[in-house]
Amino acid sequence: MARKRPQVPSAVAEFEGAELGDARLAARLLKFVKAMQDDPAAGFPKAARTVAEREANYRLLNNQRVDIDAILAPHVRQTVARAKAQPGRPLLLVDTTEFVFAGEADRDGLDRLGVNRQGFDAFVALATTEDRQPLGVLSIRTIESKGRVGAEEWAGAVDCASEHLAALDPICVIDREGDAYALFSFLIATRRDFVIRVAHDRWVKEHDGAAKELLREIASRAPTVLTREVKLSRRSKIGKAPDARRRHPPREGRDATLTIRATAITLPRPPKLRAPLPASLAVHLVQVVEENPPDGEAPVEWLLFTTLPISDAASVGRIVDAYRARWTIEEYFKALKSGCAYEQRQLESRHALLNALGILAPLAWRLLAMRTVGDADRPASSFLDKDELHVLRKLSHDVKLGPSPKAAEALLAIALLGGHFKQNGRPGWKVIWAGFQKVLDMTKGYRLARGEM
């Protein structure tokens, strides 16, 4: 099956068909989104041309009959449609994030996080292709209790999101927070494949009947399936909390050789857990390790539990790539919090903030989709049509676009139109979006003029 070209549709298309219980509310939503799509980081008052429009937008956000699930429903449908249009199995990336809002005044329904800080935690599920093309958001579920999230809550978040993609048999990808025996048991019992990073070493068995050994001991004896040469980016300690620095210590950028091993293991049920959880689970273990790091540098190491096959190098490489795709959801959170300025919203209640999240979540996906196409070796035609490319060539002076430019070249040209400076490194959300809107606006004019010739 040929891969259809990925599209970055208009924001309004992601909300069409919303059922909010009143046609006027649905119409207001589309007008609100149409105004916001030009600058997702702008304050909500800027999305209104008149005082009456501004008040109508705030009434929509505060309306108790409207909720985030209803607002997101059309985008979820579009996400599923995009997943069906792609070959292979989609990845279901599930993670938690904390939304923090500054201010002294109490906001109804938010948790107090410290001096002048309030907020809430949420599970977010993002669908991508196996080559990390973001397809859209499948669910956002708030977390009611602070502190460590239990396996039951993780299972509920995965269940809620994966039901939308059930016919496509998605692969669930979760970071170390999801390292829980009860979650593994749930996923295996419900026939869901997963790739989950191990959070801590533990006693396991190489096979049924064997003596228990520590996980890393078994991993070290597993056969090497493949090696990879990778470039590790520099990682700063600035702005990181102590726990984050422990898990992701600062480092200088370097080239690294990674050894990848894989083997089947048996996970015994932890002593503190009881039936009806099974006494053991059969899973596969994949270790990714830098065996010869530079002096003074911590080695790279991932330990992954998975139900995917490990029969050959290609299969194991697929597992490693699936976990690498997990970083896409971190980029999505940046798009939501920075590109769409969600945590800067001055709304006074949890309900209004959640409705605002329902509006901004698809806009953040569009930002991510736009930025991601420049990271892969794709043609510019993967996200720009013939007229848009023609207009971009005419507008671009610093980047010369040939007959068949790459997506990265077109993305740089778009960012420069939005005010980006090459010496500033990788383009940010704001300049990409500003440049893209210029291209879209000029393309409309070009089509109108061509139609009148």
Instruction: From residue 451, give the alpha-carbon distance in Å to each of 210, 342, 437, 440.
Output: 76, 40, 21, 17
How far, in Å, are 6, 225, 443 from residue 46 at the CA level?
Answer: 31, 55, 24
Task: Give the model's pLDDT for residue 453.
Answer: 46
Amino acid at 47: A
Residue 26's identity, in one-letter code, is A
For residue 193, how far is the Cα from the chain centroid? 19
- Nearest by Cα to 362 from 382, 378, 342: 342
Residue pair 12/440 in contact (Cβ under 8 Å)? The answer is no
Assign 25 to helix, strand or coil: helix
The pLDDT value given to residue 372: 77
Angle at 104 between CA 108 and CA 239, to 5 degrees: 105
pLDDT cut 90: percent of the chain above it: 63
Give yes or no for a contact between 91 and 168, defined as CB atoms under 8 angstroms apart: no
Q: Which of 320, 236, 250, 234 is nearest to 285 (CA)?
A: 320
Q: At what angle do helices 51-62 and 350-372 cross, to 10 degrees?
A: 100
Alpha-carbon distances, residue 188 vs 37, 240, 306, 311, 352 (angstroms): 41, 35, 10, 19, 38
Contact partners, residue 51, CB within 8 Å, separation at least 6:
none
Domains in the chain, CATH or no CATH each? 90-333 (3.90.350.10), 380-452 (1.10.740.10)
**CA-to-CA distance for 214 and 69, rounded, in angstroms?**
43
Burial of 203 (0-12, 13-18, 19+ CB in 10 A): middle
Distance CA 210, CA 326 (A): 33
**pLDDT at residue 7, as a whole number:** 54
Tokens of 112: 């107090």
For CA atoms 35, 40, 46, 48, the dihedral sign is positive
Q: Are strands 171-174 and 91-102 parallel, antiparallel or unpaired?
A: parallel
Report the distance separating Cα 102 and Cα 346, nearest Å.
9
Contact 119, 101 (CB under 8 A): yes
User: At 65, is the secondary structure helix, strand, or coil?
Assistant: coil
Candidates 36, 25, 30; CA nearest to 15 is 30
| 302 closest CA partner among 316, 315, 314 | 316
User: Within the chain, which residues score under 70 in pLDDT?
Assistant: 1-9, 147, 235-249, 374-376, 452-453
Give residue 254's pLDDT: 80
CA–CA dist 141, 127 (Å, integer): 15
Which residue in 232, 222, 284, 231 sits closest to 259, CA to CA? 222
**Burial track 296-316 (b if 16+ CB lie within 10 A, e otherwise):** eeeebebbbbbbbebeeeebb
Q: What is the pLDDT of residue 4?
A: 45
Rounded-to-5 percentages of helix, strand, coil across the chain: 45, 20, 35
Facing residues of 379 across strands?
Answer: 406
Q: Would you mind telling me the total number of residues written for the chain in this entry? A: 453
